[in-house]
Homo-oligomer: A and B are copies of this chain.
């Protein structure tokens, strides 16, 4: 175990307001993160005080969610430079952090951004500049999500009224825990809750890794937002019963034609929403849009280890973390992490610049991209 991570226990109000999963105390030369592996069974914060700790936090999935991983990587580089700001140390730290989660695009992007900012500077000024750049990466992510939240809030307001709660269904965790603040799909929910709009969030558990049950439900519970957990395959029935007003999900990647690659099960929910005339929205920061992917068919679907399907982790009655097998030895599994929802099933895309109703409007909103 890295010595740069310290373990604390108990609820920490700084992480509950304003919807943050990463905290850099005023002027501190360290950051604090929630250990997401412990949720929802325990709230454990970890202080990350050196580059090895930052690497371990990313590699061991103490933190997850592309934007959050990127920011922790950026802070990791700043921590490295506090110890040694030489060219060699900078290169070593960049390589070490980059290798922590090889497939995380945001991680590489954030590391390259800090590197580009500090490399031209004299060694003595690199560390301060890196901390500033990491703060900027964090703040920009929070600002994007807050903007998504404000546009999404309009949708929720329009569905509310006469004191009845708006029933919002979401999937997986596109929450504060996946970002530097507010989350994407959850941002409208949090802003609506803050202004007193009555809400009820339907959280689908999101097998195999149960991010809905473990993370999204915890985010709702820890902020006293009324919510209900369901198994993934109950979505269709609830929509048919008229118990869902709107579906809002995040996105891992959106193709140029508006096809949405997101957590496995998103497509099934979009089909059920369409069959029941329920609006289906995707909340996405614009960096999630892959303008080079012509359609969802161009997006490779990650296949993960079958153990995630064959076993399920949780807490035993005594509070111990246990993984239990649900199938016999003669059974294998397939485990695709994502699916693709065709654009025709999407009612709208909630971005930091407004809501697009289709791919053409999405292109129009970001016509200046690449400039």
Contact string, A231-264, partner B, CB cutoff 8 A, digits 1/0? 1111111101000000000000000000000001
A331 in contact with B268 (CB, 8 Å) = no
Residues in B with CB closer than 8 Å to A234 are 264-265, 334-336, 339
Determine the distance from Cα of A40 to Cα of B339 in the docked complex, in whole angstroms.
Answer: 29
A284 contacts the other chain (CB 8 A): no
Q: How far is the CA of A275 from the CA of B329 in the complex (A)?
A: 34
A208 to B268 CA separation, bound complex (whole angstroms) = 17
In the bound complex, do residue B264 and residue A272 qualify as a contact, i.e. CB atoms below 8 Å apart? no
- Sort chain A's interface into a size bin: 35 or more
Interface membership of A298, Cβ < 8 A? no
A 45-103 contacts with B by CB, 8 A? none
Once the chains bind, are B311 and A314 in contact (CB under 8 Å)? yes
- The stretch from A12-20, A155-163, A210-218, A363-371 touching chain B is A210-218
Instruction: Name the B residues within 8 Å of A278 (CB-CB).
Output: none
Taken together as a complex, chains A and B put the C-alpha atoms of A328 and B219 apart, in Å, by 10
In angstroms, Cα B39 to Cα A250, docked, is 37
A287 to B245, CA, bound (A): 37
- Inter-chain contacts of A220 with B (CB < 8 A): 331
B264–A268 CB distance below 8 A? no
A100 to B231, CA, bound (A): 28
Complex copy number for this chain: 2
Q: How far is the CA of A145 from the CA of B315 in the complex (A)?
A: 41
Interface-lining segment among A26-34, A105-113, A317-325: A317-325
With a CB–CB cut-off of 8 A, which chain B residues contact A324? 312-316, 322-324
Residues from chain B with Cβ under 8 Å of A329 in the complex: 221
Q: Are A236 and B271 in contact (CB under 8 A)?
A: yes
CB distance from A54 to the nearest CB of B (A): 27
Partner of A271, one of B218, B268, B325, B328: B268
Q: Please, could you name 17 A-B residue pairs with CB atoms under 8 Å apart, sorted by A?
A: A40-B327, A205-B326, A207-B207, A213-B331, A218-B328, A221-B331, A222-B330, A227-B331, A229-B310, A230-B335, A236-B268, A238-B336, A271-B272, A312-B312, A314-B326, A316-B322, A316-B325
